[in-house]
Structure 1
């Protein structure tokens, strides 16, 4: 029996950082009562707590998804004893599959970092950036060029090292993502900001285009027909929660949902792609207040940090049925690994 007979060839994991049920609801009611999330036939719930706290952070939450272990808050791709754990991206690469990461944060931020780096602390950004060069990743799009090009811990220019390794490296400073030509690229690295990208409401609008480009690039790159792995993060839904800013949450939520729509369109055409959408945790204890109306949300908050809410998991495509029910956040990794047939 081939992998295609029992599961997907491609897996696209989409993480809306900080996206709980209220964030989804606010986006829905602000968007004519419709979201692309409604196209998913299978919905489950995961338990988001970390290895040392009922309230997880993004580092531990993403490491649970990427590696299938509960670890301490702040940990990037390491277990409770700070030992490196193998990630789904690394497993896919070892199997010869193209891989990619897209984020509206810096690419060294906790969620994307947890798929390729192994660091004791999430803010060791320059150490995390160096770990990216130890992978065979085929595409990454996100902010943080300064951690690669103007480093304090050493005098290396990691972008030059990427170019020497055959990557096409571009930046928002000289190339708009829409104008990026990747047709003959071996690997692609695109910096969307020097540090952290702006919010969507302040002009950052690349997530939909980046998601579409990443899917198409990896699909073409898959010349051996092994399939690909792609993680896409809508990073700043979380930042809106930390800021207790309802409008910030909604604008980021709606951009993320448009990216979901592009990915689902590909999956429907392709027929061999599993799309999973979830969050690492909820942020802000966000609630929709009495007096809210369709198109006008009055939001309230109980916190400026994360909460311990159960988190929805949406799945579409081959193997989607495995994501129904209630389970640990580590099970997202376990299910992806099983469906890929990886060891």
Structure 2
């Protein structure tokens, strides 16, 4: 009796195993990412400046317990320290992503010896990809600058703007108009120079971005403020829209070769420096809406790797006892950056390589591998380096 019962159970288990095998072979049980290509054509790197786990948690619990970032299936952590300090700044942190090196705080696109190092954006250009930068700070601020400039001090804003025009970057969106058309250290008008390079040049004083014609037959420079853009609580509303339109723009500009873009939610950091928890949450939610636009693009194309991280945490933010859903009581331990490990979220082809714990410089290496760029030693930048040594 027992023997016959075991035979029946074994037979049913074999039948179930066979059906499962057939279903898997037909693809009905395959994971979603199995349909993705081996390598991405496009990479979208999104940096929430100053955004640690507490900032993400506060934004989520202030938004009915939901964020777009939750849709990203791969999670890792990077070690954010710089060459000369356990607590990094944005310049060294972004240079780690852009160049794959640890450098001193304040450095933009140069190594510890002030030698310029080629960035992932510059390498993407060399490989025929379209490229872009978006920020809610000035476009010459530390994070965007690290992907396109080579100076020893993040405060060399005019030199950074001068470095930018040496490249063929397809799209630049951010504040800082004064560093292009009313410079203090020379008489150059970079507005006119960009126009001579066949860029569409526009700004907040000429037309609203939402009314602008996005013509992909030429490169685009759009400056959103004379210096820093407003914070989101004061009316700034362009980041999600600029993200969506810029991805469509670069897709056309790339002529099917692919693109690289860095998109920064710059002012999460500034709100945390000011220990303004409510504004930090608003800035994080604005950034998350931009993440939603990037994920919509990636899902519809199937060939795009989206990476979301931060250069560092700011403020030592905590969610205090007494906090409730949609009514968070944040607290801060400092007005400065901290050395906490930083989450890295990824979606799309080759996203699984972003799981685990790794150095912030590994993000550069992983992006190069995803694009299939040839393995080389750290490449020196072959232009001049403002305030430092020429390679």
- Aligned residue in 2 for 1:82: 114
In structure 2, C-alpha distance between the alignment counterparts of 1:213 and 1:83, rounded to whole Å? 35
Question: What is the CA deviation profile of residues 80-99 of structure 1, one whole-angstrom value per residue up to 9, with x for unaligned ones?
Answer: 00000000000000001100
- Aligned residue in 2 for 1:23: 55
Question: What is the CA deviation profile of residues 144-196 of structure 1, one whole-angstrom value per residue up to 9, with x for unaligned ones?
Answer: 00000100110010011001110001100111011111225410000000001
- Aligned residue in 2 for 1:341: 372
- Aligned residue in 2 for 1:7: 39
- Aligned residue in 1 for 2:245: 213
- Aligned residue in 1 for 2:99: 67
- Aligned residue in 2 for 1:108: 140
The answer to whether the aligner puts 1:155 opposite 2:192 as a matched pair is: no
The answer to whether the aligner puts 1:166 opposite 2:198 as a matched pair is: yes
Alignment of 1:287-302 (within 5 A): 287-302=318-333
In structure 1, C-alpha distance between the alignment counterparts of 2:373 and 2:117, rounded to whole Å? 15
Structure 1 residues 257 and 245: alpha-carbon distance in aligned structure 2, compared to 1, 3 A threshold: same
Unaligned 5+ runs, structure 2 = 1-35, 375-391
In structure 2, C-alpha distance between the alignment counterparts of 1:21 and 1:182, rounded to whole Å? 35
Q: How far is the alpha carbon of 1:7 from its aligned partner?
A: 1.2
In structure 1, C-alpha distance between the alignment counterparts of 2:72 and 2:149, rounded to whole Å? 31
- Structure 1 runs of 4+ aligned residues shifted over 4 Å read none
In structure 1, C-alpha distance between the alignment counterparts of 2:181 and 2:371, rounded to whole Å? 35
Match of 1:40 among 59, 69, 72: 72
In structure 2, C-alpha distance between the alignment counterparts of 1:298 and 1:236, rounded to whole Å? 20
- Aligned residue in 2 for 1:226: 257
- Aligned residue in 1 for 2:341: 310
Unaligned 5+ runs, structure 1 = none
- Aligned residue in 2 for 1:124: 156
What SS does structure 2 have at the residue aligned with 1:6? coil
Structure 1 residues 34 and 5: alpha-carbon distance in aligned structure 2, compared to 1, 3 A threshold: closer
Q: How far is the alpha carbon of 1:297 from its aligned partner?
A: 1.1
Kept in 1: contact 2:37–2:349 (CA 8 A) = no
In structure 2, C-alpha distance between the alignment counterparts of 1:94 and 1:230, rounded to whole Å? 15
Kept in 1: contact 2:217–2:253 (CA 8 A) = no
Alignment of 1:251-290 (within 5 A): 251-290=282-321
How many corresponding residue pairs? 339
What root-mean-square deviation, in Å, do the aligned CA atoms of Structure 1 and Structure 2 show? 0.8
Q: How far is the alpha carbon of 1:300 from its aligned partner?
A: 0.8
What SS does structure 2 have at the residue aligned with 1:326? strand
Q: How far is the alpha carbon of 1:59 from its aligned partner?
A: 0.1
In structure 1, C-alpha distance between the alignment counterparts of 2:90 and 2:183, rounded to whole Å? 24
- Aligned residue in 1 for 2:280: 249
What SS does structure 1 have at the residue aligned with 2:349? coil
Match of 1:240 among 271, 283, 286: 271
Question: What is the CA deviation profile of residues 60-104 of structure 1, one whole-angstrom value per residue up to 9, with x for unaligned ones?
Answer: 000000000000000000000000000000000000110000000
In structure 2, C-alpha distance between the alignment counterparts of 1:104 and 1:91, rounded to whole Å? 24
Determine which structure has more spread, i.e. the larger CA radius of gyration: 2
- Aligned residue in 2 for 1:138: 170
Question: What is the CA deviation profile of residues 27-84 of structure 1, one whole-angstrom value per residue up to 9, with x for unaligned ones?
Answer: 0000000000110010000000000000000000000000000000000000000000
The answer to whether the aligner puts 1:323 opposite 2:385 as a matched pair is: no
Kept in 1: contact 2:216–2:253 (CA 8 A) = no
